[in-house]
Chain A
Amino acid sequence: MAKLLALLLGLVLAGAVLAKEAPTVAADPVLEKRVMALAVELRCLVCQNQTIADSHAELAVDLRNQIREKLKEGMNEAQIIDYMVARYGDFVRYRPPVKATTAPLWFGPFALLLAALAGLFYYIVRRRRSAPAQELSEEEQLRVRSLLEAPEERP
């Protein structure tokens, strides 16, 4: 039993050792942080729904290295984003810029919401108009009262 436990413990620990992340290329943690901050802003075009921070595709690794080098050369974040956009287009950015071609993307959802609200409003108003609350006539009032006050009939 003790042996089995030791074996299990060993396996668990081995897993922990394997799961440790590979050391980053730059020894400088501040630089590495900046690289990763930029990498999550950029789309990996090989595997389009991942950022180049998430992706293990070779191109993503290359691009991370490229970012690291450019930062070392003293380029700032905005310049590096521009550098990437100049090569891969706006699509490389996870947060697309607001401009004429991306306007539907930015404002489309709000336009749809407004249209839906307007539709709802129109529908409610029309329903109210088509069925306005009506006063009961005297006759009806009497009938209501008699029905309410009548002793309950039991079969």
Chain B
Amino acid sequence: MLRARFLIPLVVFAVMVVFLGVGLKLDPREVPSPLIDKPAPPFTLAQLHAPEKTFSQKDMLGKVWMLNVWASWCVACREEHPHLVALSRTGVVPIYGLNYKDERADGIAWLARFGNPYQLSAYDRDGRIGIDYGVYGVPETYVIDKAGVIRYKRIGIVDPEIIRDKILPLVKELNRNG
């Protein structure tokens, strides 16, 4: 009886370790997005390289595509960029950019310097469309299906593991399902 009582602090300690351990693994920035399985919010924006032309999410109906929110001022985007360039070379999924709260000239110069993985980039100067997409930390990435529904959202850097384990299988499945 007495011996069992001595075990109590140990048990309490073990429970705390488990909770703290799980807490360490959780990333508070990864907030579940309410946009998953919802239609991509509508927009029509001028293109980054061709201000006279527009781009709308409607233009992509019937295709599985990726929308990547980026900015020249975003440090993490620079880290992510080579992975997107590599993915775009495979041609598995078309990547479109949303240039978020950026100066047009800066954005264009950034792509010229680091390579352009995007079919084109839409230019969201005041971040209005970003708000509609629930953007709060650039980079953010969306996979949108043929019906224009958001199927996956990544807040933060898309790295090779995520491309391999999440994005590519999803794109394959979405393309197969018509």
Q: Which residues does B use to contact A, with CB under 8 Å?
A: 28-29, 31-35, 101, 126-127, 131-134, 136-137
B31 partner residues in chain A, CB cutoff 8 A? 45, 88-89, 91
Q: Which residues of A contact B131 (CB under 8 A)?
A: 62-63, 66, 87
> Which residues of chain A have a CB within 8 Å of any CB of chain B?
45-46, 48, 58-59, 62-63, 66, 85-91
Closest residue of chain A to B33 (Cβ to Cβ) is: A89
Cα A131 to Cα B32 in complex, Å, equals: 55
- Given the complex of chains A and B, what is the CA–CA distance between A89 and B155 in angstroms? 14
The dominant DSSP class at the B interface is: loop
How near does chain B come to A117, taking the closest CB pair, in angstroms? Answer: 18
> Which residue, B33, B131, B136, B137, has most C-beta atoms of chain A within 10 A?
B136
Closest CB in chain A relative to B31 CB, distance in Å: 5
Given A87-B34, A89-B33, verify A59-B136 contact (CB < 8 Å).
yes
| CB-defined A-B contacts under 8 Å, sample of 11 | A45-B31, A46-B136, A48-B29, A59-B127, A66-B131, A87-B34, A87-B35, A87-B132, A89-B31, A89-B134, A90-B34
**Which residues in B have their C-beta under 8 angstroms from that of A86?**
34
Please, which residues of chain B bring their CB within 8 A of the CB of A85? 34
Chain B residues in 8 Å Cβ range of A91: 31-32
Cα distance, A86 to B132, chains bound together (Å):
9
The residue in chain B whose Cβ has the minimal distance to the Cβ of A90 is B34
- Asked whether, in the complex, the Cβ of B134 is within 8 Å of the Cβ of A88, the reply is yes
Which residues of B sit under 8 angstroms from A48, Cβ to Cβ?
28-29
CA distance A89 to B127 in the complex (A): 18
Nearest Cβ in chain A — how far from B169, in angstroms? 25
Residue from A45, A89, A90 in contact with B137 in the complex, judged by beta carbons closer than 8 Å? A45
**A86 — nearest CB in chain B belongs to which residue?**
B34
